[in-house]
Amino acid sequence: MKYTRIPDDTFQNLQMNAGIIVRNFDPLTGEGTGLLGATTGGVNFTATPTFEDFGEDIDNCPKNTKELKKLTEWEIKLSTTLVTISASVAKTLIAAADVDGDNDGHIIPRNDLDAKDFDDLWWIGDYSDKNTGDDAGYCAVHLMNALSTGGFQIQSTDKAKGNFALEFTAHYSMNEQDKVPFEVYVKSGGSEVKPSILLNKHSAKILVDGTETLTATKIPATAPVAWTSSSDSVATVSSGVVTGVDEGSAIITAMITVDGVEYTDTCTVIVEASEAEG
């Protein structure tokens, strides 16, 4: 029994049931809204990284040397099959489409993508041995900039319900190129999710007159962020965009306030002279 005994907390750490897909979820309260629909066959989520091995073609360098390994991107997908459909869900599944202004049940496909076609989605599943009530546990996955990439599919069957297969892919943003477009929350039943803020970078170097964009992941997601610089004579910040003013270093602070309590994270920015000045 020394090496075959299961962990004592096994049944407190199980993810149960198929879960649901919603448009909005608050990790602080565990409340989700905007249910996409009823599913069948469960939900499949994958986040697959792509690695580049820069030592692979170097003589006398072992393959998979950790110092020469680079993670270049993630491919993030969520797929399932719906057994219910509505006009708004049909528009989402078609991906590039508009609603007829004279008939909200008429969905008109497009040949081009628009920024409004991308939206966040959440998968939420029961987690732990306590998965009912206000303090229920959950396992949640947040897909950012999700777009339906599986097309619009209907599988009908004689004397049976129709199925609507779907696939969503999360996407990076040009405005936040360093931000991986998914995140995971795991909360045990009876535990409390505390407010927090986390920056995508904690150190950065920029040139005078150069910029660096910082992004903040927050709980709750709706909390407004207050940005400050320890030295505006070195670097200023507005809505997360840091601008170099003069050589030196400055600490950029991002803060949220929840129920009168402040939560912060910081990034140390070093401003260097531009080549023109040098």
Tell me the pTM. 0.76
Query: Is 104 in contact with 94 (CB distance < 8 Å)?
Result: no
The residues, any chain, with a CB within 8 Å of residue 173's CB and separated by 6 or more, are: 144, 145, 179, 181
* DSSP assignment letter at 66: G
Q: Euclidean distance between the first and final Cα of the chain, in Å?
A: 69
What per-residue confidence (pLDDT) applies to 1? Answer: 63
Domains annotated on the chain, with CATH: 10-187 (2.30.110), 196-272 (2.60.40.1080)
pLDDT tens for 15-56 read 888 999 999 998 888 889 999 999 999 999 999 999 999 998
Looking at residues 171-187, what average pLDDT do you find? 90
Measured on CA atoms in the order 74, 142, 118, 177, is the torsion positive or negative? Answer: negative
Query: Is 49 in contact with 153 (CB distance < 8 Å)?
Result: no
Q: Of 149 and 13, which is predicted with more confidence?
A: 149
The residues, any chain, with a CB within 8 Å of residue 219's CB and separated by 6 or more, are: 27, 28, 193, 194, 195, 196, 197
Average pLDDT, the chain: 91
- Structure-token pair, residue 219: 């709980």
- Structure-token pair, residue 126: 């029961």
Measure Cα distances from 181 to 170, 193, 196, 231, 249 in Å: 6, 21, 18, 31, 30
